[in-house]
Amino acid sequence: MEMAFWIAAARGLDSVVALILARQEEKQILESIESGLGGALQCSLELSSAELVGKLLDLPQAASLPEEGRWGLGEALCRAADALCDAPTIDAFLRSSQASRIPDERLGEAIFRSLNTPVHDLACSLICASQVSRIPLSGRYGWERLYELAREKDPQLAEKMASMQNRLT
């Protein structure tokens, strides 16, 4: 079942939706949502497929995705940072009803990971999103550490962060 979701995600939106709807009535769908739908979400983020990410997160089953863990929302966001996911796809993720379930520290971790890649689209999207207010001020992935890293890696982004921090406080 898990592999079927991954294959469907690689083929595109219609395949994933058809597979989920076909399996919806089976009891095993609940057991495989975590690895199947979570895997499809991660695959879609890595492929920078904004439309597929939006559709997957709009499915009723998306509410069953865990916040943490291998197939969780937080891990999906961090993997998207590593995969240089594009801004429209990240925006689709952050506009979804599931975005508020991403653990606060994972938001900071995703920005941190994005800043350590050649492309900072994910960091820019997260910093400009409403979720940014949830990032802790201090700590391993806190705002202060992220700001220092941004100053080193992307001064323009650091300026945005400074203005955001002023608006948040």
Domain borders along the chain are 2-168
Q: Quick one: which of 86, 88, 78 has its CA closest to 112? A: 78
Distance of CA 79 to the CA centre of its chain: 8
* Residue 71 zone, left/alpha/beta (φ > 0; ψ -120 to 50; rest): alpha
- Digit-by-digit pLDDT tens for the chain (169 residues) are 555 655 555 555 555 655 555 555 444 544 555 567 888 888 888 888 888 898 889 888 889 899 999 889 999 999 998 888 888 998 899 889 999 999 989 999 999 999 998 888 888 888 877 777 888 889 999 999 999 999 999 999 999 888 876 655 5
Q: What is the DSSP letter of 68?
A: S
Q: Quick one: which of 169, 121, 150, 152 has its CA closest to 161? A: 150
Radius of gyration of the chain (CA): 16
Crossing angle of the two packed helices 121-128 and 73-82, in degrees rounded to 10: 130
Q: How far apart are CA 121 and CA 115, in angstroms?
A: 9
- Where does residue 166 rank: exposed (0-12), middle (13-18), buried (19+ CB within 10 A)? exposed
Q: Residues 6 or more apart from 27 whose CB is under 8 A from it? A: none
User: Which pTM value belongs to this model?
Assistant: 0.76
- From first CA to last CA, the distance across the chain in angstroms is 47
